[in-house]
Chains A and B, each alone.
Chain A
Amino acid sequence: MAAISREEVAHLARLSRIEMTDAELDHLASEMGLILDSVSKVQAVADQDIPPTSHAIAMQNVMRADVVVPSLTTEETLSGAPAREEDRFKVPQILGEE
């Protein structure tokens, strides 16, 4: 069985910015093992010289003219803000103690 350790899951949780409980980490480590077992069959084609597909309907360089068009108002943009101060999103401190 594909083994993924609890430490690896904890590392992934940190990368994903999710503070998981110890119980969650244990549970996920075993579930990941099962899921990885079943998805790893894609490796059967890994060595083959096949171009990868990222988008089924291929498109290139979809652009629009560089013209200013109406967008959301400040009020609309801030309407969902968990906290605001005047016309700005208020957020917790970004830089920690040095």
Chain B
Amino acid sequence: MNNRSTLYTLVGLAAAALVGNMWAESNLQKWDDALLSHQRRYKAIWEECDDLEMRREKAPKGSDEQSFRLHFQTQAYTAQMGDINVNVNSRTRSDVEDRIFKIEFAKGDKGFRRDQLRTFLFNAELLYPRVRTTSLAIKPHSEGGRRRGTDTGTERIDLWDVTKLELRQRSPKANN
């Protein structure tokens, strides 16, 4: 191999080495970016997993009627409000779907204190997503469930009868 051939070979090698060097630099840059991206995403994944773990524990595990009935009955039991009857209806609007729960308390001799009622409603709303109390009518408790005229202003203890209670869960309409 003469000098010229050697030079050309070296020029070729230098060009190849330059290309290789550029590739290696670009590859290093790629892995630099990848490592930064891994570090950033690792942190996000870790935090989101912790968040999911915590929130899933508190999340309702079912969305069927039975689950709801169980939920409301549990809250009524917790608030010492006795048995309840839950009627479920559905209503679909343009973009949302409502599940309407009509709750009837067992007619008894005792009424409910307002704090009992508030506790029940608070937990019923809080512990199930997108549930709101949409209708509530209470009146002072009357023995036997019968109102004795309009004896307004008379002294009475804090006991009330729930004449109407309706809760509603609103969900986005599924796009099928």
Q: Are A and B interaction partners?
A: no
